[in-house]
């Protein structure tokens, strides 16, 4: 049973993160009706983990991967979305995201806030098997959307096959060679038809 | 490791459920910029479960509750959203949703499809502790949004305090008396200020 103060902090956090629904990403929905937002993207990635769990190269805890993906973009409420193909000052970006994590997870009761922030750091570091698989799905999903929308953000950003292979392949293949094996075929076929 | 056929079915399912992002609910975002869609709503509910797990009356498996909430609205891709305050023919609605579950979960490899469909039926039946808690969060979240937006769908639908107490309270209190205890105070205060 939560204390009354804890419950009120938890509800405050849950109201605050409603804003993730207004963070618009570069990626289109598959029907191209609009760009995707980071909240529905997080839902989709949690579903990717649930469905594709057996494709991970290493033993993973799928429940931890799902939790990681549910929270992985929450810092964007303060720090904004930073697309793969955008060059920016990484150290400034990192500092902004860390401040965002401090503020937003800091709304929660102390212990719970620390637990989620540490899960977010684990995702960012991409050093555990769970985080590597989570990162790999976070790259795979926009790749699928780009393939399904005749190039999506790749067309907009004039991204080459070599850049896709390097920017997506390097991350996807670290979590799942099986997923990169099929995805690299889609990439090959996509660029050979252009 | 998934077989090549299984993986292709799984990817097809993950593309198909992108459509849940285009199912628009009655509930507003807290900033009132637009209505919420069912994909971002599902993400939000999974976060509610993760954050509020200790408020459940009975012992629950939070990971199962999260999975249940991630998939609970997927049938709406075919069957549409049916708001709490809308009267409709329940048996027709049930049949439509069951056909949707057959079709959409049927895209998956057989065993995985059966597993998720059975989790969805468990949610719908609301007879297990996990499902009761999931249902209670599914009622709490739109209540929070209505309170935060000076009445939201209650104003639009001319819904009375007694109707809110009956339609939300009955479901929330079956999963968590603690959550209904605080939510009923918000409801009381909301209607006394109108």
What are the structural domains of chain A? 8-192 (1.10.3210.10)
Distance, in Å, from the CA atom of A175 to the CA atom of A140, rounded to the nearest integer, reads 10
- Residues of chain B with pLDDT > 70, as a percent, come to 98
- Would you call A15 and B31 a contact, using CB atoms and an 8 Å cutoff? no
Rama region for B171: left / alpha / beta (φ>0; ψ in -120 to 50; rest): alpha
User: Kind and range of the H or E element at B42?
Assistant: helix B38-52
Structure token digits, residue B38: 């069912």
pLDDT value of residue A113: 98
pLDDT value of residue B44: 98
- From A21, which residue of chain B is nearest by alpha-carbon distance? B40
Q: Which of residues 130-159 of A touch B (CB under 8 A)?
A: 141, 144-145, 148
* pLDDT tier, A146 (very low <50, low <70, confident <90, very high otherwise): very high
Distance, in Å, from the CA atom of B127 to the CA atom of B52, rounded to the nearest integer, reads 20
State the DSSP string of A38-62: HHHHHHHHHHHHHHHGGG-SS---H
* pLDDT tier, B84 (very low <50, low <70, confident <90, very high otherwise): confident
Chosen from B13, B18, B68 to mutate, greatest number of chain A CBs within 10 A: B18
Give the CB-side neighbour count of residue B74, counting CA atoms within 13 A. 32
The β-bridge relationship of strands A35-37 and B24-28 is unpaired
Structure token digits, residue A166: 């390097």
pLDDT value of residue B2: 55
- From A177, which residue of chain B is nearest by alpha-carbon distance? B1
Within 8 A of A18 by CB-CB distance, chain B residues are 29-31, 44, 145
Distance, in Å, from the CA atom of A59 to the CA atom of A27, rounded to the nearest integer, reads 30
Distance, in Å, from the CA atom of A142 to the CA atom of A147, rounded to the nearest integer, reads 9
From B49, B23, B18, select the one nearest B36 (Cα to Cα).
B23
- Residues of chain A with pLDDT > 70, as a percent, come to 98
- Compute the average pLDDT of residues B108-124: 98
Say what the ipTM of the complex is: 0.96
From B190, B189, B168, select the one nearest B180 (Cα to Cα).
B168
* pLDDT tier, A1 (very low <50, low <70, confident <90, very high otherwise): very low
* pLDDT tier, B1 (very low <50, low <70, confident <90, very high otherwise): very low
- Residues of chain B with pLDDT > 90, as a percent, come to 90
- Compute the average pLDDT of residues B88-103: 91
Give the pLDDT confidence of A69-95 residue by residue, as tens digits. Answer: 999 999 999 999 888 777 677 888 899
From A59, A192, A78, A76, select the one nearest A138 (Cα to Cα).
A76
Residues with Cβ within 8 Å of B80's Cβ and at least 6 positions away in sequence, in order, are: B23
Distance, in Å, from the CA atom of A150 to the CA atom of A37, rounded to the nearest integer, reads 20
Q: B24 has which bridge partners?
A: B37
pLDDT value of residue A194: 77
What is the pLDDT of chain A when averaged over all its residues?
Answer: 95
- Compute the average pLDDT of residues A33-60: 98
From A47, A142, A136, A57, select the one nearest B112 (Cα to Cα).
A47
> Pick the residue with more confidence: B193 or A127?
A127
pLDDT value of residue B57: 97
* pLDDT tier, A2 (very low <50, low <70, confident <90, very high otherwise): low
Give the pLDDT confidence of B152-185 residue by residue, as tens digits. Answer: 999 989 999 999 999 999 999 999 999 999 999 9
In chain A the first and final C-alpha atoms are separated, in Å, by: 58
Within 8 A of A7 by CB-CB distance, chain B residues are 52, 55, 178, 182
**Region of poorest pLDDT, from A51-55, A116-120, B88-92, B120-124:** B88-92
Residue A29 is classified by DSSP as P
Torsion sign (Cα): B173, B42, B115, A178: negative
Within 8 A of A71 by CB-CB distance, chain B residues are 47
From A167, A109, A33, A89, select the one nearest B21 (Cα to Cα).
A33
User: Kind and range of the H or E element at B28?
Assistant: strand B24-28
Within 8 A of B20 by CB-CB distance, chain A residues are 40, 43
Give the pLDDT confidence of B19-57 residue by residue, as tens digits. Answer: 999 999 999 999 999 999 999 999 999 999 999 999 999
Residue A194 is classified by DSSP as -
- pTM, entire model: 0.97
Longest dimension (CA), chain A: 60
């Amino acid at each position: 049973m939560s204390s009354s103060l804890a419950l009120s902090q938890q509800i405050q956090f849950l109201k605050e993160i409603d804003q993730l629904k207004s963070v618009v990403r570069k990626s289109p929905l598959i029907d191209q009706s609009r760009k995707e937002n980071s909240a529905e993207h997080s839902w989709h990635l949690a579903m990717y983990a649930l469905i594709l769990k057996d494709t991970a190269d290493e033993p993973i805890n799928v429940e931890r991967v799902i939790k990681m993906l549910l929270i992985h973009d929450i810092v964007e409420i303060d720090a904004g979305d930073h697309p793969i193909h955008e060059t920016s000052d990484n150290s400034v970006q990192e500092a902004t995201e860390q401040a965002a994590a401090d503020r937003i997870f800091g709304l929660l009761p102390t212990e719970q806030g620390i637990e989620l922030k540490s899960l977010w750091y684990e995702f960012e570091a991409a050093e555990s098997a769970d985080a590597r698989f989570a990162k790999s799905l976070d790259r795979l999903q926009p790749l699928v959307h780009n393939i399904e929308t005749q190039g999506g953000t790749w067309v907009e950003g004039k991204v080459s096959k070599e850049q896709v292979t390097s920017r997506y392949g390097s991350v996807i293949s670290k979590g799942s060679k099986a997923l990169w094996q099929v995805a690299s075929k889609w990439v090959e076929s996509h660029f050979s038809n252009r």
